[in-house]
């Protein structure tokens, strides 16, 4: 199967994870793609293909003759998509030989080069995008497609010498639980790479510390005509709390090793309000300070 066709097949699976769920994986629909990938690995002739009780799918490309003692290399990708937007009924649009212009997603949404100047880097390339009503799911079904296409190529070209290669596909990465039950010993790689980057040729060798935080505010709702010195408006309290977070430490003002507080959710009434944050920092000390 061609890489593009494989990717388009994978994005047809709805694999959205859920922060509200206490199960693992957080949604059963992720298992549909994980089991599909396991079946695909078996069909390609990979060995030791397993899907464990947590949904992790693994397989082995055996070492070429004479390369059995080479270090074992692993490649990993996650199947889930972000809870922030639907990944159901994805309608991919394919642009062959992109001309560098604005991309109309649908009748009301356009991806403009003015807003996304990096689009200019892909003139002449094939671009795949959604119709703007759902996520595409390239994060990280692109990684899944890359790994499986490489596996298919190696299995059909035995003249390419290589050591043992392990493949791993995981759930729930988008909600920060992707490695909670990942069996490192069973995976058995000496070195491993996660295929979940952004730019062609990019190699990331460091990672940030991350946590989520939820602040709940209990207010006191009183009829506004009799509210003086009695009402506590949870919405106002939550807004005042959020205003105390340093503005310069938001994602839109940070880069490189700079940590941030990212407000990702706000809901409430006079009686109750809730704010959700993502907290990140490369420095463990600053990370702990941010959590406090």
Q: Mind telling me the catalytic residues?
A: 80, 173
C-alpha distances out from residue 75 to 42, 145, 149, 151, 159, Å: 17, 12, 12, 10, 21
* Structure tokens belonging to residue 17: 């994870």
C-alpha distances out from residue 288 to 54, 210, 211, 214, 281, Å: 30, 10, 10, 16, 9
C-alpha distances out from residue 122 to 56, 91, 128, 181, 204, Å: 34, 21, 11, 38, 21
- Of 55, 67, 63, the residue nearest 25 (C-alpha): 55
11 Cβ contact partners less than 8 Å away, ≥ 6 residues apart: 87, 90, 92, 136, 137, 138, 141
Element (H, E) at 127: strand 127-129
């Amino acid at each position: 199967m061609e890489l593009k066709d494989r990717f388009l097949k994978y994005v047809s699976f709805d694999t959205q994870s859920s922060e509200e769920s206490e199960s693992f994986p957080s949604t059963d629909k992720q298992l549909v793609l994980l089991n599909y990938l396991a079946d695909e690995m078996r069909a390609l002739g990979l060995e030791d293909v397993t899907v464990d009780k947590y949904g992790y799918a693994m397989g082995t490309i055996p070492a070429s003759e004479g390369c059995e003692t080479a270090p074992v290399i692993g490649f990993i990708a996650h199947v889930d998509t972000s809870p922030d937007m639907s990944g159901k009924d994805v309608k991919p649009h394919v642009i062959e030989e992109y001309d560098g212009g604005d991309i109309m997603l649908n009748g009301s949404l356009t991806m403009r080069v003015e807003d996304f100047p990096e689009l200019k880097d892909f003139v002449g390339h094939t671009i795949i995008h959604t119709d703007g009503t759902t996520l595409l799911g390239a994060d990280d079904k692109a990684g899944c497609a890359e790994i499986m296409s490489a596996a298919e190529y190696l299995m059909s070209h035995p003249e390419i010498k290589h050591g043992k290669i392990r493949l791993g596909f995981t759930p729930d990465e988008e909600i920060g639980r992707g490695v909670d039950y990942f069996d490192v010993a069973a995976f058995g790689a000496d070195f491993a790479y996660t295929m979940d980057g952004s730019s062609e040729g990019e190699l990331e060798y460091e990672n940030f510390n991350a946590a989520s935080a939820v602040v709940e505010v209990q207010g006191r709702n009183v009829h506004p005509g009799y509210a003086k010195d009695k009402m506590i408006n949870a919405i106002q309290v939550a807004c005042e709390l959020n205003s105390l977070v340093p503005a310069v430490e938001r994602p839109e003002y940070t880069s490189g090793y700079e940590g941030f507080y990212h407000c990702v959710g706000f809901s409430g009434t006079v009686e109750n309000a809730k704010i959700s944050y993502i907290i990140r920092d490369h420095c463990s000390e600053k990370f702990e300070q941010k959590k406090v």
